[in-house]
Amino acid sequence: MTEGAIQVAEALASASRFLHACGVPEPRVDAELLLAHVLNLNRAMLFARDDRTLAPHDLQSFNRFVDRRGARREPLAYLTGRKEFYGVTLSVTPSVLIPRPSTETLVERAIALAPRRVLDLGTGSGAIVATLAANLPGTSFVATDVSPRAIAVARTNVPPGVDLRIGAGFEPVEGERFDLVVSNPPYIPSAEIDRLEPEVRHEPRDALDGGPDGLTVVRMILSRFRKHAERALVEIGPGQADVLRSEFPDVQFHKDLLGIDRVVEPC
């Protein structure tokens, strides 16, 4: 990376070339977002001041972030500590899965159902419950996760009224009833995880690993949720709908923007 007194435009060009050489998918965008983060600006302000000379400490900080993004392929969201999801800005750390656009399918369906009491299993960053709370005023929420570190992150993202609990599966809500259970569980087959993009391998494995065929936790939820709710929405991976359709005959699926069956909903 370039050192010395340089302007914003030059720093971005140099960083983009480095990130491209490292195989980062969107090198220019990531360079801009990292520099905006370092300078505490938004991207529009960054463009308006691209002839500005960077202070040495800002350039050094930027170069460190760019090296981590390129050489180590650390996810951008972990470097900036933020991720936009469904109109909400969330805090994220390596203790939680990074929210993805595919989960918006579940959020949209949940909003359409207008439940009054919701259980979010495996809340992670709290992305689902935070966006539902923003769109369903008057609804009450319980969110659980087996990881205390994930719950600590979720606490920074969800409204104060959300009841956060630590525990596995349905154990933290034994004997309680809800209108709806929602979950984005681990659903990647164990053997596939080490073949995923380098960025994904920085995310917590227990939030990714769904067992031999990826459906261990999904099956658990679909088999047990009726003890606690009449309805459930569970995110799944590509190609998993046919297996679930054969095992759970009364289910429907909701497609994401790519046309993939992304959410399973028991009828």
Neighbours of 227 (CB within 10 A): 12
Q: Judge whether 97 and 204 are in contact, CB under 8 Å.
A: yes
Measured distance CA(165)–CA(182) in Å, rounded: 15
Instruction: Report phi then psi at 42, rounded to 5.
Output: -90, 170
Checking if the pLDDT of 92 tops 90, the result is yes
Q: How far, in Å, CA of 110 to CA of 9, rounded?
A: 44
pLDDT digits (tens, 9 = 90+) for 11-64: 999 999 999 999 999 999 999 999 999 999 888 888 777 778 999 999 999 999
Could you tell me if 203 and 98 are in contact, meaning their C-beta atoms sit under 8 angstroms apart?
yes
Q: What is the pLDDT of residues 121-164, one digit of tens each?
A: 999 999 999 999 999 999 999 999 999 999 999 999 999 999 99
Give yes or no for residue 2 having a pLDDT over 60: no
Determine the pLDDT at residue 44.
Answer: 82
Say what the pLDDT of residue 172 is.
98
CA-closest candidate to residue 235, choices 226, 244, 224, 247: 244
pLDDT at 80 over 90: yes
| Locus of tokens 């918006």 | 104
pLDDT band at 4 (very low <50, low <70, confident <90, very high): low
Q: What is the DSSP string of the chain?
A: ---SS-BHHHHHHHHHHHHHHTT-SSHHHHHHHHHHHHHT--HHHHHHTTTPBPPHHHHHHHHHHHHHHHTS---HHHHHTEEEETTEEEE--TTSPPP-GGGHHHHHHHHHH--SEEEEES-TTTHHHHHHHHHSTT-EEEEEES-HHHHHHHHHHS-TTSEEEE-STTGGGTT--EEEEEE----B-GGGGGGS-TTGGGS-GGGTB--TTS-HHHHHHHHHGGGTEEEEEEE--TT-HHHHHHH-SSEEEEE-TTS-EEEEEE-
pLDDT at res. 43: 84
pLDDT band for position 3 (50/70/90)?
low
